[in-house]
Amino acid sequence: MDEIKIIFFDFDWTLFDHKTRTFTQSTILALNKLHKQGIKIVINSARTYYALKELHTFELIPFDGFIVSNGGAAMIDGNTLYADFISKDYSNNLIKFLDSNHFGYNLIGQYDTYIKEENKNLIDNFYEVFYEPYPLPIKDYKDESLLAIQIFSEEKDDETLKAESAKYGLLFNRFAENNVELTPIEFLKSKGINAILNYLNLKPENAMAFGDDVNDISMFNLVKYGVCLGNGKEEAKEAAYYVTDTIENDGIYKALIKFGLLKS
């Protein structure tokens, strides 16, 4: 087997078990051991940096790098390799439009997320469904560059919001019944992996990735050793190099043992 020098980890249902709303102890211990062995560990999640931080992820696991917002930005060893921000003119104009039309929204920065509270019932419904840390208040926003804007809205608003986002060439994605997300380009987890491998002068054969969902397939297609959790989607399992046990049955730990990266 090739020497593994870096491993990328999805967050939800891979590292973080939503049944218990916590991390499995075997995974925390395993990742800390990998880090001490000199293997770089990188989180690669659709979550924002703010959400990951507020869920205490970084206090438990010593990550070397972060690919956040599904590939919207990539950082390694304290360096930002890229961040695909919305044009400042575009984001400022959109915020004015949303304010004048009384939409609530989240502003997704590289490190922090801010909320404008309008249509409180939609916001409350969203946070009842999604286990997501509540953002900072909009008064704390200091005109930072934005990776994405999430708008609390219903499907009846889609035509209006699509027309407004199209003015700026932004991608429109209704990812929830009460929320849409606007991004400057399609974000892919594989873009972050590619940037980090190039920066570290590593090959796909030196990389492993753990995931469970369809958006992890781009990771599996790039690295040589893609590992899908047993609780993952069938499409992800089909794209993976190896399928391990479920998250609650220590799937990550068992796979690391199998590949010889840890001793039992």
pLDDT tens digits, residue range 106-136?
A: 999 999 999 999 989 999 999 998 999 999 9
**Amino acid at site 110:** Q
SS (H, E, C) the chain: CCCCCEEEECCECCCEECCCCEECHHHHHHHHHHHHCCCEEEEECCCCHHHHHHCCHHHHCCCCEEEECCCCEEEECCEEEEECCCCHHHHHHHHHHHHHCCCEEEEEECCCEEEECCCHHHHHHHHHHCCCCCCEEHHHCCCCCEEEEEEECCHHHHHHHHHHHHCCCCEEEEEECCEEEEECCCCCHHHHHHHHHHHHCCCHHHEEEEECCHHHHHHHHHCCEEEECCCCCHHHHHHCCEECCCCCCCHHHHHHHHCCCCCC
Residue written as token pair 């999430």: 150
Model-wide pTM > 0.85:
yes
Question: Parallel, antiparallel, or unpaired: how do β-strands 65-68 and 16-17 relate?
Answer: unpaired
Which tokens is 85 given? 């921000």
Is 180:197 a contact under the CB 8 Å cutoff? no
Alpha-carbon distances of 245 from 225, 230, 234, 260, rounded to whole Å: 16, 5, 14, 16
Which tokens is 150 given? 């999430």
Render pLDDT for 237-246 as a digit per residue (tens, 0 to 9).
999 999 999 9
**Amino acid at site 213:** D
157 — alpha (psi -120 to 50), left (phi > 0) or beta? alpha
Name the phi and psi angles at 94, rounded to 5: -65, -40
**Amino acid at site 37:** Q
Torsion of CA 106, 21, 216, 264, to 10 degrees: 150
Greatest Cα-to-Cα distance within the chain, rounded to the nearest angstrom = 59
Q: List the chain residues with pLDDT less than 70.
A: none
Which tokens is 243 given? 């399928």
C-alpha–C-alpha distance, residues 54 and 40, integer Å: 22
**Amino acid at site 87:** S
Which tokens is 14 given? 């891979």
